[in-house]
Chains A and B, each alone.
Chain A
């Protein structure tokens, strides 16, 4: 890849490997929390978890935690730091095509997500086992759509927030409630109705539904999948406009 997008994406991926701390949150946090909470409720099917194995419930949920950590925590800080320090101005002045940086970020974010999801499954397999996928094509559609949606949200946040510090604060502020209410926390069946009401429309809840329900055979989650697709389209459009060099 010798195009501007290819050069930028390649460099971005190489730079990520040189800054392991940046990747820690995306790679280590989902794995560690999945190991803890996956073992907290045992492996016997449980009515609180729609009568499935709670450990499998969390394995099927945590791929979306990887996606959210990439989009809401890693990318906004990275991009806001670039903006703050004038790196983007330098790319713009050097004549990189208008959309090249946004596309390169999307590619780098997707590669990171795939690698982190792979690592999560590799760790989960010997400990809890990987649950059988009932409706694989819906899962296969939801994961990339969700990744595009959250990476674009991350690019958008990075383009709007004035500094790396503010991006970190806002990113974490969005990530943790989304994580607890929409993916890694208690299942909706045990939440109070008010909390369930708040959790329901959160992007991470919708994405987790769109992945977990067809994966575990709990339902097609067509509405959630459509919402994630719409979010991906809107966020990508907005991010590309904001991040144009």
Chain B
């Protein structure tokens, strides 16, 4: 447990009745980091962060957040943490400006600036029930940042946001990082985790499967790449050469279409071979593995006992 650690979790366990939701989770978040907690629905991510926030009492384990025990010192801890919760609401008839007044403490920032930043300045007098899903999410983010928190916990940050609003929110999270705020981000959007997080912790069935930078996870769990192209009269020597290239695992032929599977080195080798032979196809396409591929690779290799393997769209919330 280092002095730089903002969150330290050791052996966290939480059950609901007989169902074990979090099972021996270890997690460390250092000051200034953006750490992503990723995994399919039901992986135990939200319960883990709710224990970190002091909203749930763990059955076992040691938790320290900003030097406080979230269970016994919640009153001291909570004002230092900005939270954007997954399933929560405000009173239906509460206006946006009133929400800022209600949630602001003496350490509060200028709420007007935040509303401006998140495109809600025109909604000051709107009541909560009249806001769209995206506007509600942005308001929750404004409230999470209002009191200059030292740790920000964002659970399903961009759920319901359109692409432009997502980018806007991502920029705000990067700004937070630039000002030294520590962020713990819960998501099952892999592109979001890849774009924002310096380190990612992968959870499944209440356990941590692996952790590392996005590049490390991709490297460990998704080394493969796929190249597709069409050559109507594929010369046999070229095909033979491709099969023997370093890193190629498999070559599929379907009519004029060629699909080459292998590790990421094949992108360079196949491209070079095609250029050498003067056969550069018009439709050359390359699929480079990303974090989502890495996560799928990881989950396929380490299926949890009794847990179904999630569908890709469940992991990624649908690829955008």
**Interface set of A (CB-CB < 8 Å, partner B):** 7-8, 11, 14-15, 18-19, 82, 85-87, 89-90, 92-95, 97-98
Contacts and interface: CB of A to CB of B under 8 A. Distances in A.
Contact of B93 (A15, A86, A92, A94): A15
From B81, B87, B103, B127, residue with most partner A Cβ within 10 Å: B103
B53 interface: yes
B93 A18 contact: yes
B83 A93 contact: yes
A98 B71 CA distance: 12
Contacts of B83: 93-94
A93 B78 contact: yes
B55 interface: yes
B101 interface: yes
Contacts of A85: 88-89
B78 A11 contact: no
Interface in B110-162: 127, 140, 143, 147
The 5 residue pairs across chains A and B that have the minimum distance between CB atoms: A86-B88, A95-B78, A95-B79, A93-B83, A85-B89
Contacts of A19: 93
Contact of B102 (A7, A89, A93): A7
B194 to A, nearest CB: 27
A90 B88 contact: yes
Nearest to A78: B91
A94 B94 contact: no
A98 B76 CA distance: 11
B241 interface: no
From A85, A87, A90, A98, residue with most partner B Cβ within 10 Å: A90
Contacts of A7: 101-102
B102 A86 contact: no
Interface in B234-260: none
Nearest to A86: B88
B91 A15 contact: yes
Given A15-B93, A19-B93, A85-B89, A94 B143 contact: yes
